[in-house]
Structure 1
Amino acid sequence: MRFHTRKWVKPGDLNANGTLFGGRLLSWIDEEAILYSIIQLENKKVVTKFMSEINFMCTAESGDIVEIGIEVVKFGQSSLTLRCEARNKMNHETIVTVDQLIVVNLDENGKPLPHGKTKVEYVKDRLAREHQSS
């Protein structure tokens, strides 16, 4: 799994117990999944359709750095199924895992749009291909 994003846990991210609020972490995960999907599917119009079981394993505190990792589980016709893990950068303890996060590719009218993708692509490879064809 590749860890793409880091978030710094600040006082405004904490719950009443003084630890990272789970809803804030899920918001970060959802945003990362959408950004990852936009890049993979080359479309700015994608939405989260489903998030499976969420397993909180430990917490983070103010000042901790949280890393968010995403990997593709499968490509559907108009969807992308991802797996996610958030961990503490300092000690690499897993904070939460999400086994399935499904993102749907949309057309300009908000309807599911087949994306034609079958494998993970990296921007550097796309740029190299575009450079070779010009």
Structure 2
Amino acid sequence: MENFTLVRPEHLNHHGYLFGGVLLKWVDEFAWMAASRDYPGSTFVTVGMDKVAFRHRVVNGAILRFQILPLERGRTSLTYAVDVHAAPPGSVDEERVFSTRVTFVRIDGEGEKIPLPPAKEGL
């Protein structure tokens, strides 16, 4: 799955660059969307995010491209690889600014882990 967003002034830190916490929120949210589309009707919660390393600063007006791909499937959990690329304002040339793996677990109404349903065809 791919998703895009525009970096706006409200996303910047006090130095004028993208605030890392905002990027992490988007990574978590977009990976959750991928899991929810891959397993409709399931409730997922985030249980972990691998290494968090910001490679390059991101400026106001940059367009971010999030590439989210399924990586691993366990009995109750899913892991997605997430790569984030940034194109500065007015450019289509991208550079990778962030990558991680996000793991979700499927839960029931009481918050207990439950097995994953069969994957949609193609996963």
TM-score after normalising by structure 1: 0.81
Per the TM alignment, residue 119 of structure 1 is displaced from its structure 2 partner at its CA by 7.0
Partner of 1:94: 96
Structure 1 stretches lacking a partner, 5+ long: 123-134
Gaps of 5+ in 2: none
Label 1:39 to 1:65 Cα distance change in 2 as closer, same or farther (>3 A).
same
How big is the shift at 1:117?
3.4
CA contact (8 A) 2:11 2:22 kept: yes
Whether the 8 Å contact between 2:39 and 2:119 is mirrored in structure 1 is no
Distance in 2 of aligned mates of 1:54 and 1:29:
11
CA distance in 2, matches of 1:97, 1:79: 20
Question: In the alignment, is residue 112 of structure 1 matched against residue 113 of structure 2?
Answer: yes
Structure with greater helix percent: 1
SS in 1 for 2:34: helix
CA RMSD of aligned residues (A): 1.8
Stretches of 4+ moved more than 6 A in 1?
none
CA distance 1:78–1:39, change in 2 (3 Å): same
Q: Secondary structure at the match of 2:53?
A: strand
Note if contact 1:40-1:120 (Cα within 8 Å) is conserved in structure 2.
no
* Structure 1 residue aligned with 2:55: 57
Say whether the 8 Å CA contact 2:39–2:120 is kept in structure 1.
no
SS state of the match for residue 102, structure 1? strand
State whether residues 13 and 20 of structure 1, in contact with CA within 8 Å, keep that contact through their aligned partners in structure 2.
yes
Query: What's the secondary structure of 1:29's corresponding residue?
Result: helix
Task: State the SS of the aligned residue for 1:54.
Answer: coil
Residue 53 of structure 1 deviates from its aligned partner by 0.4
The offset of 1:44, in angstroms, is 4.4
Number of residues of Structure 1 aligned to a counterpart in Structure 2: 119
Look at both structures and tell me which one has the larger radius of gyration over its CA atoms: 1
